[in-house]
Structure 1
Amino acid sequence: MAKRAHRYRLRLEHLAPAAPDQPTHPPVELDFDNHDDILHIADRLEARQLFTAPGQATEFAIGLKLFGEVMLKNREHPLFAELRPAFGEFMKRLKGGAPPAAAAPAPEEAP
């Protein structure tokens, strides 16, 4: 019996390049399944106000859940071998509601 999953469609549009001499790219659209309700998770993370800029928690939730699902579906892939334990601990801390660890100071920019 197949596991039940939420079904999503994601459309990513390149609105403007970083520099005028760079091209814009056509939109990418993909359909995918995820075992979690990503939009509910995004709402919950926004409510926790983890980040100062509006919408960043939603960006974070979408990216994290897309990445995590690919890693879960490919759990035996050697690419994820070193990351898997740390990712598991990170998710436990995030789900536990613990605030993020104190941020390290930003590296100084080279002159």
Structure 2
Amino acid sequence: MQHHYRVQLQKLDDSAAVLQFDCQNHDDIFAILARSQGKLKLTETEHQALIVGLKLFSEVMMQHRKEELFKEFQPHFKQFIGHLKRTVRGSGPEVSE
């Protein structure tokens, strides 16, 4: 099932530049945030940025996995995600800052 999101990034200086886009992800990002909360040695802001950033990136990478840009990186990304999942489940070393 696809989950639909609206992402907004707003620069908090005088320019007040705003970037907003809609996207989809095969995972429920809020459920992942809830499951992984407090399980990484990160601040809450770092935790949210990591999970949201990884999920947005991984969805694009999956859609373009055959393209040269992602082919070489994909095995390393899979290894990182596996390590992250083991850490969140409590069967691996904690990911530190």
**How much has 1:49 moved relative to structure 2?**
3.6
Report what 2:38 is aligned to: 47
Higher helix share: 2
Q: Residue by residue, what CA displacement relative to the aligned partner does 1:1-21 show, whole Å, maximum 9, x if unpaired?
A: xxx2101011111112xxxxx
Report what 1:11 is aligned to: 8
Report what 2:69 is aligned to: 79
Structure 1 residue runs of 4 or more that deviate by more than 4 Å after TM superposition: none
* Structure-2 separation of matches of 1:24 and 1:45: 34
Higher RCO structure, 1 or 2 (CA under 8 Å, sep 6+): 2
For structure 1, list consecutive stretches of 5 or more residues without a partner in the other structure. 17-22, 104-111
Corresponding pairs, count = 92
TM-score normalized by structure 1? 0.74
* Structure-2 separation of matches of 1:73 and 1:41: 20
- Identity across the alignment (%): 33
The amino acid that maps onto 1:57 is H
Greater Rg, structure 1 or structure 2? 1
For structure 2, list consecutive stretches of 5 or more residues without a partner in the other structure. none
